[in-house]
Structure 1
Amino acid sequence: MSDFLQIERDGHVAVVTMNRPQTRNALSDDDAIESMVAMCETINKDMSVRAVILTGAGPAFSSGGNLKTIRESVGTGLGEPANSRYAYRDGIQRIPMALCNLEVPTIAAVNGPAYGAGNDLACMCDIRIASDKAVFAESFVKLGLLPGDGGAWLLPRAVGMSRACEMSFTGEPIDAAQALAWGLVSRVVPADELMPAALGLARRIASNPAHALRMTKRLLREGQHARLDSLLEMSAGFQALAHHTVEHEAALDGFLNRRNG
């Protein structure tokens, strides 16, 4: 794994920091993409991790694409336009797929500007908490581009279609207060309270059983596109598994003992 990500542990919580402030934590470079994908794969295999916090080093959360290299990697520098399709599919589009398949709950602690793919990265997380210094922009149109990283799927699910269209068609930024009003984030805190707030929430999540958390997240994700009958069938199967976990048995015993005590 490259130096793009710094990963620290706080009990059952993994704190993942994009650590390239010189590029404002741009996502589009190959090693940044590989780091994100590898991080998700590693955490999926580690049952001791029950929650992830994703944040950025320096003043920015993420600037999205690295404009100094993007032309050569996915733009006109390729010569053949059709090759850009593969550059996206085999490049930055691996990040939304990896985060969508990350089994544990994720919290984006948005410490500063989240532009373009950086805004979409925040939307890839399950929960978003913003510093009062955070700024969000679906800014692709300002560069004559469009959200090639899945933003057209992600943003409407976060803020609704009308507001997603406003952000996408104008490319203009919104501040943290507006992001809160629009439902893009669930809370806004002073900058120096961002990580304590994110850690506090992550610890509360991580206090719950690992299997139940992972299956609950999977159901929520499936519920975004599945039919009700299909989701109910999947829920029944997952619940059958949950009923036979050690954690459920212990919780049930504890409840019954308290009631009968």
Structure 2
Amino acid sequence: MQAQYGDVSARTEGHVAVLEFNRPPTNFVSVELVRALADALHAADDDKGVRASVVCSAGKAFCAGADLASPTGVGGSGMQGINPLYHEAVRLFSVKKPIVMAVQGAAVGAGLGLALVGDFRIAAPEARFVSNFVKLGFHPGFGITHTLPRVVGEQKALLMCLTGRRVKAEEALAWGLVDEVVPLEDLRPAALRLAQEIAENAPLAVQATRKTFRADLAAAVKAQTDHELVEQTWLRETKDFAEGVRSVNERRPGNFVGA
């Protein structure tokens, strides 16, 4: 497996597919990027020689989320960009083979949602996990309101989503959001080692076991993103959303009025 899917490059090491996405400068999510990653992961599903995947990204940030402020970003012309994005997100959760995420830096908003697609997350000490939607006057998306509590529990997930705080790698490890923290230079080798450890086992048994654990996760994410979209649509029209976008761009606390 050696291929290019838009901004996603794919190669294999033994029975492991290594997928790297690169959308400088901060790997902002776009419909095209998520579609490309879904295409690459489904191609790995179709490759009988692949038994697990590692997903990583280029640059300092793992993924800075979706660009909600720019006219050219996701949702820049209303909410039309969000629904296709969530359609592609559901495709990510439909993948049959195990996924290990290598997180080297900030995983913010939709970037956190992307990290939660994986079965496991290996992080560098520089990694930060952030659900900052309320700082934008917005509602969480990308299925985070389902996938985050599934991993860290409802209380920790609520804490992240209502405060918008940055959770550092070591704290994320204690919470179970991260499975291992390793030095930055060892991040990809560590993610590859875990994927290879999985790939050493009987592939049909691995996939059947994973299916049991994840159950109807893709369907649950579909239902949750449908709800998230409803909440995001009306919130996008509020004064607080406009102020949230300005305040984040200006790197200051928002002056919210509840309208």
List aligned pairs for 1:225-244, cutoff 5 A: none
Separation (CA, whole Å) in 2 of partners of 1:163 and 1:134: 18
* Superimposed CA distance per residue, residues 89-130 of structure 1 (whole angstroms, 9 cap, x where no aligned partner): 22x213431221111100011111100011111111101111
Q: Which residue of 1 aligns with 2:246?
A: none
Separation (CA, whole Å) in 2 of partners of 1:26 and 1:163: 25
- One-letter amino acid of the structure 1 residue matched with residue 143 of structure 2: G
Whether 1:32 aligns to 2:33 is: yes
* Superimposed CA distance per residue, residues 158-190 of structure 1 (whole angstroms, 9 cap, x where no aligned partner): 111111011000111011011011111111111
Contact 1:2–1:31 (8 Å) recurs in 2: no
Q: Which residue of 1 aligns with 2:167?
A: 174
Contact 1:40–1:98 (8 Å) recurs in 2: no
Work out which of the residue numbers 205, 215, 219 in structure 1 matches 2:212: 219
Whether 1:186 aligns to 2:179 is: yes
Q: Which residue of 1 aligns with 2:83?
A: 89
Identity %: 36
Separation (CA, whole Å) in 2 of partners of 1:72 and 1:7: 25
In structure 2, list runs of 5 or more residues that go unmatched.
219-259
- One-letter amino acid of the structure 2 residue matched with residue 61 of structure 1: F
Contact 1:110–1:134 (8 Å) recurs in 2: yes
Q: Which residue of 1 aligns with 2:13?
A: 10
Whether 1:148 aligns to 2:149 is: no
After TM superposition, the score normalised by the length of structure 2 is 0.77
CA-based RMSD of the aligned residues comes to: 2.1
Give the Å deviation of 1:55: 1.1
Work out which of the residue numbers 106, 112, 118 in structure 1 matches 2:111: 118
* Superimposed CA distance per residue, residues 20-40 of structure 1 (whole angstroms, 9 cap, x where no aligned partner): 232x1111x232122022113
* Superimposed CA distance per residue, residues 8-67 of structure 1 (whole angstroms, 9 cap, x where no aligned partner): 210110111111232x1111x232122022113212211211011111101011011024
Q: Which residue of 2 aligns with 1:48?
A: 49
Separation (CA, whole Å) in 2 of partners of 1:128 and 1:33: 18
After TM superposition, the score normalised by the length of structure 1 is 0.77
Contact 2:31–2:74 (8 Å) recurs in 1: no
Larger Rg: 1
Contact 2:53–2:195 (8 Å) recurs in 1: yes
Contact 1:3–1:19 (8 Å) recurs in 2: no
Give the Å deviation of 1:69: 3.9
In structure 1, list runs of 5 or more residues that go unmatched.
79-83, 226-261
| CA shift in 2, pair 1:49/1:70, >3 Å | farther
Segments ≥4 residues shifted beyond 3 Å: 67-73
Work out which of the residue numbers 17, 20, 23 in structure 1 matches 2:23: 20
List aligned pairs for 1:69-84, cutoff 5 A: 69=70, 73-75=74-76, 77-78=77-78, 84=79
Separation (CA, whole Å) in 2 of partners of 1:131 and 1:145: 29
Separation (CA, whole Å) in 1 of partners of 2:152 and 2:55: 20
